[in-house]
Structure 1
């Protein structure tokens, strides 16, 4: 396949955007998950002395040596289950919103791109916030949960559905401005660096 054939592949397909977004999201979260596990423990309000780390390297070494080689991946299944649909929805919603509102000038283009990023973020975070809730409970030192499904069912029975969305508004307060700026910057750079797309 030469470059012109590749560039002429259909990009308006919702399925293509959903698949590409899902695969990218899952890969991003899985590759960085061990580091995320250390970060979660380092941010814990009252960490156990066995789980107090000063660096990523120290955290990974301590986790593996005292809890087993797979411990830095504890909770990764919750992220995989959430990241696929969340990123698929994000990228397909973004492209759909962007294509629905035609823009005639630079200001309209930026407003449309920002709105598309914000709308897509609402859907993405509606899935990722509960997934992160389960993931963080499983990442903690001496977590009592053996699987993400056990964790979800016990948390649901003990705390109700509201617990899964407790940080949703906080997440949106961070992510909506971030994604609006991110998308507008991304699209502007695309226009400068690759005007013919």
Structure 2
């Protein structure tokens, strides 16, 4: 934290005159890579548990069973299969994500005073995810294709080439509308919750890693639970090319995929992977926000 001038209160949220969009983007890129790299194994478990018709070796009864089965049959390294895709995509996507968040929040009046601004937080979060998902969606598709049990894809480039050759460019964006239907409410809910919890825990808005960590984790858990049904639909669309069930392979979009899940598994089908999604999202958002605020504080300190 920058050295406080006697008689002058230090405001963490007050941006220095030479602190610009590029610094928010660098902080966001750092946060995105840190978040996805650390929590990747749990994300892989979530994807596998959401597959509607997995092959025999990919059928699990719970998180513990999934971990032990993967370790016994495929080895520990499998838990990191496809991580290169999120590392390559997460940096630019999160740079855009947090850059957009800070820019829209400023324009919407979210930084004008010490008051609570949930509308500005929700709007900035929604705009941030629309922009970042346009970059991240193809990498997310590649990641999930590599995560599925029995996947023959060995690298990011090989998977991308195969996917483009066999299913065309649309395969990289078939889930984009569904992704936005999930991530817009997820991010809006998360940002409002994060801003609200942070203000309650840290009314002075000082740099406080503990507050950022707890607020980020709780905000992520709430948002994850609410949007799990849409995440199940997204997973179906992004992995349809590997499905053994013909109806799943021919899924055409959000509503058609939802109808397939309802018809084959009932309403409980929309909650597949709920526990690992919450388990992964809580520390994931905690790491993301803590890393972002830490990087932001570092840049401000350098300029102070």
Instruction: Indicate the TM-score class for this superposition, using the shorter chain for normalisation.
Output: 0.7 to 0.9
Name the CA distance, whole Å, in 2 between partners of 1:117 and 1:4.
31
- SS across alignment from 2:152: coil
Cα deviation code 1:48-100 (max 9, x no counterpart): 11121112222222222222331111101111111111111110111011112
Point out where structure 2 has 5 or more consecutive residues left out of the alignment. Answer: 206-304
Name the CA distance, whole Å, in 2 between partners of 1:42 and 1:65.
17
What are the within-5 Å matches in structure 2 for residues 7-156 of structure 1?
A: 7=12, 10=16, 12-102=19-109, 109-156=117-164
Name the CA distance, whole Å, in 1 between partners of 2:121 and 2:127.
10
Greater relative contact order, per chain length (Cα 8 Å cut-off, separation 6+): 2
The answer to whether the 8 Å contact 1:41/1:139 transfers is yes
After TM superposition, the structure 1 stretch with the greater mean CA deviation from structure 2, 28-37 or 104-113, is 104-113
Question: How large is the RMSD of aligned CA atoms in angstroms?
Answer: 2.8
Shift of residue 105 of structure 1?
A: 9.1
Give the TM-score normalised by structure 2.
Answer: 0.58
The answer to whether the 8 Å contact 2:100/2:127 transfers is yes
Name the CA distance, whole Å, in 2 between partners of 1:156 and 1:130.
11
The number of residue pairs the alignment matches comes to 197
Name the CA distance, whole Å, in 2 between partners of 1:84 and 1:170.
22
After TM superposition, the structure 1 stretch with the greater mean CA deviation from structure 2, 168-177 or 184-193, is 184-193
Structure 1 residue aligned with 2:167, among 134, 159, 165?
159
Name the CA distance, whole Å, in 2 between partners of 1:46 and 1:55.
16
The answer to whether the 8 Å contact 1:113/1:183 transfers is yes
Name the CA distance, whole Å, in 2 between partners of 1:186 and 1:145.
37
Name the CA distance, whole Å, in 1 between partners of 2:62 and 2:175.
26
Cα deviation code 1:122-173 (max 9, x no counterpart): 0121122221111111011221111011001110111111111111111111
Point out where structure 1 has 5 or more consecutive residues left out of the alignment. Answer: none
